[in-house]
Amino acid sequence: MFVIGKQEEGTSSFSIKAMAKKAIEPLLLSEKLIIADIGCGRGDFAETLKQYAKKLILVDYDPPKSLSDISETFQADLNQMWPIDNESIELLVSLEVIEHLENPRFYFREVYRVLKKGGYAFISTPHSINLIARFLFLLKGQHRYFQNESYPAHITTLLPIDFERLAQESNLSLLSKHYNYHDVLPFFGSDFYIKSPFFSDSIGFLLQKP
């Protein structure tokens, strides 16, 4: 029996990690932060985050072992209340996770709950309205990364307008959008990089709790 939304040994591509690092780097130039990696998978990006953290919290359905003496790991179903205290996180990162979850509004409420006032969150998800995604939807009538080969891991498609609405509903300020400038040519599987949102297969959002 499979678990809906679960992805074994989860990780994000190099371009997505680079997008996230570029987006959060301006926040990491002063003192070290209390950072949470929500849906951390096997902990690849957490290796980058730990150098900026005075405390690093890793949460996943099947989390890795602690990475260092500053890290704590928690096993959790992210569809339920996260094992993190209220207003305890200064920076939250969640790469390619929300599309695995049943209720994005609950997810956003949890982001708001665990962030300190003035805290930041960076969240990424597949970019379902870039040019190739639009072409494939027209051709197949299904969102690009939510077809049979992505099921049951990917279950919730979100568009940029959905993030804007979710942020507003959750009282989070949407500061900026970011793109990984990477895509894969359909049917050929060839990677290419073009610095345009129209050819980015992932989109990220930097948010702040007022």
Pairing of strands 53-60, 33-38: parallel
Token digits of residue 141: 């009538």
Torsion (CA) 139, 144, 148, 150 in degrees, nearest 10: 170
Side-chain half-sphere exposure of 2, counting CA atoms within 13 A = 9
Q: In this predicted structure, what is the pLDDT of residue 2?
A: 60
Q: Which domains does the chain have, with CATH numbers?
A: 14-208 (3.40.50.150)
* DSSP output for 16-68: HHHHHHHHHGGGSSSS-EEEEEET-TTSHHHHHHGGGEEEEEEEESS-----S
Percent of the chain's residues with pLDDT above 90: 86
pTM for the model: 0.95
CB 149 within 8 A of CB 51: no
What does residue 201 show for φ and ψ, rounded to 5 degrees? -90, 5
Q: What is the pLDDT of residues 160-185, one digit of tens each?
A: 999 999 999 999 999 999 999 999 99
Amino acid letter, 47:
E
Q: In this predicted structure, what is the pLDDT of residue 1?
A: 52
For the chain, the straight-line distance linking the first and the last C-alpha, in angstroms and rounded, comes to 42
| Residue owning tokens 């980058």 | 48
CB 165: neighbour CB atoms within 10 A?
16
Q: Which residues of 103-137 are buried (b: 16+ CB within 10 A; e: fewer)?
A: ebeebbbbbbbbbbeebbbbbbbbbbebebbeebe
- Residues with pLDDT less than 70, the chain: 1-2, 8-9
CB 205: neighbour CB atoms within 10 A?
23
